[in-house]
Amino acid sequence: MWRIADYQRAEAPTTEPVTKFGGQPSWLTEPQWPLSASWGTPMRFVCQIALDPELAGDSPARLAYIFVTHADHGRDADDFDPDVILPDGGENAVIVQPGGTYDGPTAPLTEGPTLYHKDGSPAEYTVELIRSDDGADEDDDVIGGETVQHDLPGDGAPWRPLLRLATNWTPFYLNLGAAPVAFAFLSADGRAGCLLVEDS
């Protein structure tokens, strides 16, 4: 696994296919911006994660893009949809490119809602990653890692851990509950993904 040791604020838009949080996706093929099942509006882009064979196996995938339905900072917080925490609730998505599969509705948008700071200013961060074969603390944000027990969709086939994000401690704002931890996974063939949020 890789521990996110530091979030580094981007001074200019990052368009390379690297791991980053916020900004706009660096699409590798045609844009596939996922839409909220409840509102029909574009989900908020959280991050993209550069994939290597350890994360994606033999899949041709090179980037995974993570999205959630999230109230705009001008929208009432009561509009928060609890289905965002479910991997099959239609309110979050993991898009994999190239060669990925995603069953939900999408739009061919190159730009859309992204992360922001609590003052409303846009947020974009690259990350410093440190290899951590000895594990990580439960509050650490990590990419990859050991499989843990979760109630995930499918026929019981294993899912590869992709991201663990303790959203209360990030330098950007992400309202997913009181003390939420977001978990993203890739399917065993590396062509699909899912996301869930566990809240205390």
- How confident is the model over 113-154, as pLDDT tens digits? 999 998 889 999 999 999 887 766 777 899 997 665 566 666
Enclosing domain of residue 192: 2-199
Give the percent of the chain with pLDDT over 70: 84
Say what the pLDDT of residue 59 is: 79
Question: Considering the chain, what is the average pLDDT of its residues?
Answer: 85
CB 152 within 8 A of CB 188: no
Give the C-alpha distances (Å, rounded to integers) separating 159 from 25, 49, 116.
24, 16, 30
Give the Cα separation of 29 and 165 in Å (integer). Answer: 26
Between 156 and 9, the more confident residue is 9
Both structure tokens of 160: 């590869």
Phi/psi of residue 85, nearest 5 degrees = -85, -10
Give the Cα separation of 169 and 139 in Å (integer). Answer: 8
| Each residue's pLDDT tens digit, 69-103 | 876 644 444 555 555 567 677 889 999 999 999 99
Q: How many domains does the chain have?
A: 1
